[in-house]
A and B are shown apart, each in its own frame.
Chain A
């Protein structure tokens, strides 16, 4: 289930926008009644169903979820980014993210982009082109291009090295090596 790791920093996608405004909480991203599994394939069909019952059945792989401020607030459930991945969402663009969701998205390999302008000027159904390496959102429907906020250097490194799982694996190997030497 975790076969797809944090994506290479250069991901690029075209997709339609699904817009949900400010304060999208993790209870509506994936309601607790489905937290008896953490398999993205089982979570995906229920993604966002309490906010938009049509989302999971109509979303096309590659589509982009667009939030306003504080996307992913509330519960720490990592099942929220997993459900978005399972539904086929390529990237979440928002004006800002709640902190636990932000970390979880990086850790499970759901691409996210902080881009207040892009989030504000996107309407449902707009065609978006996301370029994660450039940090840009291009609105193909409106002919506009927006640049998102870069991650801090440590997080860029973390993403570039494949995410927290390989990072910890490397740290543990170093530790073992040092212990063997001493």
Chain B
């Protein structure tokens, strides 16, 4: 049987034949939770009567959502997570040395080509950028994976997404994935997997691919997996925490559909609230003023994102009417941005720079919106109440649109500034 890449990875971890539309049990290579999803997982783990995790080196807890602890209740949850991690000898990194899970784990070489990765967080699909079948689960499912080292999946059909053409310098991974969302809608890939390939990615950075894979779940997808190529293999080889074996799709595998995107014809895009699929060119939102700009998150808080934003903000000032919040997604990103002078650029431009955290993306802390306020964010969701008050609004875009918007106080196509 010929497999698409997502099916081929599942097949490599299953003892029984893997067929689309059927349920299979698969071995997991890595399983993690965060400070919000770990506590319910820990309780489920105990109820299951589990004594220890299947392999402490392949299990992790990352304090990234409500950390540095935003209040007492968050502190209690973070403590419960930390205590369990120490008791079980799981991989755990303290605030000040960690990052947003989906940015941090690939840096640590813990998500690798050919892996099956499960995380108690929907944006676990970000790991697909490295050729892993990475997917989000709830806390109880994650506890089961910690206990047994396996989980079950309904094997999804695959949509092949090819992105061809050379994108303009104003177009990045966010614009590619927003264009995909415009095409598929928020449920166009529900119960399906995406397989990404195409020449356009040779012109973009690996950071752009993380952005694309990150928002696969916004189309409803179970996973969004890139076909391994030289940049992926070089990154994984340089950082691997264990050996890995890349997996490729079979020649002649059958896809449910092929979605073709011409990156060469894309322009900077924005998704309007309350749907990540309500996508239009940035220039069509020119009359929309904003109170806040957020540059960060597991979608667009990496070095390339900060580089692009700093490039536009250098020597300029954030508009008086705007609060611009910049949050590097990991300590590696933070330190390198510091070394390259991007952090100084942000501070001199009048932006807030915070320690790595999910922070305002999910309405946690470090930039919550009041009723009637509007934010342009580089994150992945603009649902009602996502970043604060239910009467606040979130527009989504890449780092260039965000930086341009911070300068003018209204949604701005970066080619204008």
Chain A residues with CB under 8 Å of chain B are 1-2, 22-23, 25, 27-28, 31-33, 35-38, 49-51, 69-70, 73-79, 82, 96, 98-100, 103-104, 107-108, 152, 154-155, 164-165, 167-169, 171-173
Contacts of B47 in A (CB 8 A): 2, 165, 169
Stretch with Cβ within 8 A of A (4 or more), from B71-79, B107-115, B158-166, B307-315: B71-79
Q: Which residues of B contact A79 (CB under 8 A)?
A: 40
Verify A100–B136 contact, CB threshold 8 A. yes
Whether the pair A98, B220 counts as a contact (CB closer than 8 A) is yes
Judge if B154 is at the interface, Cβ distance under 8 Å.
yes
Most buried by A among B47, B66, B76: B47
Please name the residue on chain B nearest to A173 by beta carbon. Answer: B49
**What would 8 more interface pairs be, CB under 8 Å, given A35-B65, A75-B381?**
A2-B43, A33-B363, A73-B220, A74-B122, A76-B121, A96-B187, A100-B136, A152-B22
Q: A107-B141, A171-B148, A172-B49 are in contact. Are A77 and B186 (CB under 8 A)?
A: no
Are A36 and B66 in contact, with the CB atoms below 8 A?
A: yes
Q: In the bound complex, how far is the Cα of B115 from the Cα of A28, in angstroms? A: 33
Find residues 5-47 in chain B having any chain A CB closer than 8 Å to their own CB. Answer: 22-23, 36-37, 39-40, 43-44, 47
Given contacts A76-B122, A165-B47, A171-B148, contact A103 B384 (CB under 8 A): no
B56: CB under 8 A from chain A? no
Give the residue name and chain of the A residue nearest to B50 (CB).
Answer: A172
Q: Are B140 and A107 in contact (CB under 8 A)?
A: yes
Question: B159-195 CB contact bits vs A (8 Å, 1 = yes)?
Answer: 0000000000000000000000000001100110000
For the complex of A and B, the 9 pairs showing the least CB-CB separation, nearest first, are A36-B73, A104-B138, A107-B140, A50-B390, A50-B385, A78-B138, A70-B187, A76-B122, A32-B362
Per-residue contact bits, chain B 186-209, to A (CB 8 Å; 1 contact, 0 not): 110011000000000000000000
Task: State the Cβ distance, A31 to closest chain B Cβ, in Å.
Answer: 5
Inter-chain CA distance A27–B44, complex, in Å, is 23
In the bound complex, CA of A35 to CA of B385 (Å) = 14
The interface residues of chain A lying within 8 Å CB-to-CB of B124 are 76
* Bound CA span A46–B50, Å: 32
Q: Is B275 an interface residue (CB 8 A)?
A: yes
Known: A33-B363, A75-B362. A38 touches B40 (CB 8 A): yes
Which residues of chain A have C-beta atoms less than 8 A from B77's C-beta?
A: 36
Q: Quick one: which of A28, A100, A164 contacts B385, CB cutoff 8 A?
A: A28
A–B Cβ pairs within 8 angstroms, 8 of them: A25-B381, A27-B381, A31-B363, A31-B385, A33-B363, A36-B73, A38-B39, A70-B190
Which of chain B's residues have a CB closer than 8 A to the CB of A173?
49
Take A32-B364, A36-B77, A70-B220 as given contacts and tell me if A77 and B36 are in contact as well, using a CB distance cutoff of 8 Å.
Answer: yes
**Given the complex, which residues of B lie within 8 Å of A50, measured CB to CB?**
384-385, 390
Q: Given A31-B363, A104-B140, A165-B140, is A75 in contact with B122 using a C-beta cutoff of 8 Å?
A: yes
- Chain B contacts for A49, CB-based, 8 A: 390
Residues B36 and A99 in contact, CB atoms below 8 Å apart: no
| Minimum Cβ distance to chain A for residue B121 (Å) | 6
Residues of A within 8 A of B190 (CB): 69-70, 73, 96, 98-99
Most chain A Cβ neighbours within 10 Å, of B187, B220, B275, B383: B383
A157 to chain B, nearest CB (A): 10
A41 to chain B, nearest CB (A): 14
Which of B121, B147, B186 interacts with A23 by CB under 8 Å? B186
Check A36–B71 contact: CB distance below 8 A.
yes
Per the bound structure, the CA–CA distance linking A1 and B153 in Å amounts to: 27
Q: For the complex, what is the distance from the CA of A22 to the CA of B186, rounded to whole Å? A: 10
A167 to B47, CA, bound (A): 11
Q: Which B-chain residue is minimally distant from A155 (CB atoms)?
A: B23
Q: Which residues of B contact A168 (CB under 8 A)?
A: 48, 50, 143-144, 147-148
Q: Which residues of B contact A31 (CB under 8 A)?
A: 363, 385, 390
Is there an interface contact between B74 and A36, defined as CB atoms closer than 8 Å? Answer: yes
A82–B44 Cα gap in the complex (Å)?
Answer: 13
Known contacts A36-B74, A70-B220, A165-B44; is A78 also within 8 Å of B139 by CB?
yes
User: In the complex, are the beta carbons of B50 and A74 less than 8 A apart?
Assistant: no
8 Å CB contact of B23 from A22, A33, A104, A152: A152
A residues within 8 A CB of B40? Answer: 38, 78-79, 82
A27-B136 in contact given A35-B36, A76-B121, A100-B122 (Cβ < 8 Å): no
Residue on A with the closest CB to B75?
A: A36
- Most chain A CB neighbours (cut-off 10 Å) among B66, B76, B147, B362: B362
Chain B residues numbered 356-402 whose CB sits less than 8 Å from any CB in chain A: 362-364, 381, 383-386, 390
Q: A73 contacts B141, CB within 8 Å? A: no
The CA of A51 and the CA of B274, in the complex, are separated in Å by 12
Q: Taking each of A75, A154, A172, which has the highest tally of chain B beta carbons within 10 Å of its own beta carbon?
A: A75
Q: What is the bound-complex CA distance between A148 and B143, given in angstroms?
A: 30
Q: How far is the CA of A25 from the CA of B122 in the complex (A)?
A: 12
Residues of B within 8 A of A76 (CB): 37, 120-122, 124, 136-138
The complex places the Cα of A96 from the Cα of B190 at a distance, in Å, of 9
Check: B152 CB closer than 8 A to any chain A CB.
yes
Query: Chain B residues near A167 (CB, 8 Å)?
Result: 144
Measured in the bound complex, the distance between the Cα atoms of B219 and A98 in whole Å is: 10
Q: Which of B22, B220, B222, B364 has the most CB of A within 10 A?
A: B220
CB distance from A62 to the nearest CB of B (A): 24
CB < 8 Å: which of B139, B186, B381 contacts A70? B186
Across the interface, which residues of B come within 8 angstroms of A32, CB to CB?
36, 362-364, 386
